[in-house]
Amino acid sequence: MIYGLTNSKGGVGKTTIAVHLAAWLTKKKRTVIFIDADPQSSASQWIRELNLPIALEEISDPEKIIHRVAKLAADANDIVIDGPAGLSTTTRAIMLRADKVFLPCGPSILDLRAASKAVALLREAQKSRKGLPKGALIPNKLQKRGRLSREMLGAANKLGIPLLSGLSQRQSFADAAGQAKVVWGMGATSLLASHEMQQLMKEMTRG
Ligand SMILES: Nc1ncnc2c1ncn2[C@@H]1O[C@H](COP(=O)(O)OP(=O)(O)O)[C@@H](O)[C@H]1O
Ligand SMILES: [Mg+2]
């Protein structure tokens, strides 16, 4: 399975979710290749420091992504691609290669509207690939214990894209990279974060 994390905006949780997904898949005994497609390469250091059996490649050139992913697909159970912010040709390349694309977005209705540009790009890719990649929005940094407002649900409905349960705003998520850990390795103070993240991982890998 090839997973892509993309969105038009930065700071929405692409890297946080991509790194956790890769770590979670290794916990499920799957072989995983992680492609850091963001030239800022913030995921790469985190992945290296986790010391998990995750093969890491840093490729931000769109042509190279297209060729390399096709080649690598036979070498692992799963490929996780952490995309850059923006609707660049790199983001397009990810959408042309992934089986599933996830669009993390901020917690407000404005963030959701901003994500509509990425949804439009996704639709383009789906047109040329007989419905692939599958796509879903991931609301991140939610207040009120992760509950989604009715407005959020309505807006996602209008965009015609599934909405996953999402993540609350939590210090543990913000601290994980600095501690070179994932939230389920951070002990008792991160139990709620761990529970939320694992719930999200289940939804992302389902079906
Ligand atoms: N649910 C969350 N709660 C608190 N902080 C978060 C959460 N998700 C992400 N962050 C923090 O927000 C910042 C941006 O997240 P990141 O995953 O790097 O986003 P992106 O890759 O989309 O730019 C990081 O400092 C990260 O630790
Ligand atoms: Mg990032």
**Would you call 47 helix, strand, or coil by DSSP?**
helix
**Would you call 80 helix, strand, or coil by DSSP?**
strand
- Give the whole-angstrom CA distance, residue 150 versus residue 65: 38
Per-residue confidence band for 146, with pLDDT thresholds at 50, 70 and 90: low
Q: How far is the CA of 89 from the centre of ligand 2 (A)?
A: 16
- Give the whole-angstrom CA distance, residue 115 versus residue 12: 10
pLDDT, one tens digit per residue, over 63-116 is 999 999 999 999 999 999 999 999 999 999 999 999 999 999 998 888 888 899
Domains observed in the chain? 2-201 (3.40.50.300)
Ligand 1: residues whose CB is within 6 Å? 10-16, 42, 85, 140-141, 167, 169-170, 173-174, 177
**Phi, psi angle pair for 106, to nearest 5°:** -65, 175
Average pLDDT score over the chain: 95
- What residues flank ion ligand 2 with Cβ within 5 A? 14-15
Residue 149 confidence (pLDDT): 80
Edge-to-edge strand list for the sheet holding 78-85: 54-58, 32-36, 78-85, 2-7, 100-105, 134-139
Helix (H) or strand (E) holding 17: helix 14-27
pLDDT, one tens digit per residue, over 163-200 is 998 999 999 999 999 999 999 999 999 999 999 999 99
- Give the whole-angstrom CA distance, residue 132 versus residue 144: 34
Residue 155 confidence (pLDDT): 86
> How far is CA 178 from each of CA 47, 79, 171, rounded to the nearest angstrom?
12, 24, 12
Residues 6 or more apart whose Cβ sits within 8 Å of residue 139: 104, 105, 106, 107, 112, 148, 152, 163, 164, 166, 167
pLDDT score of 33 more than 70: yes
Per-residue confidence band for 129, with pLDDT thresholds at 50, 70 and 90: very high
Work out whether strand 134-139 and strand 2-7 pair parallel, antiparallel, or are unpaired. unpaired
- Model pTM score: 0.97
Residue of the CA atom closest to atom 26 of ligand 1: 174
pLDDT score of 144 more than 80: no
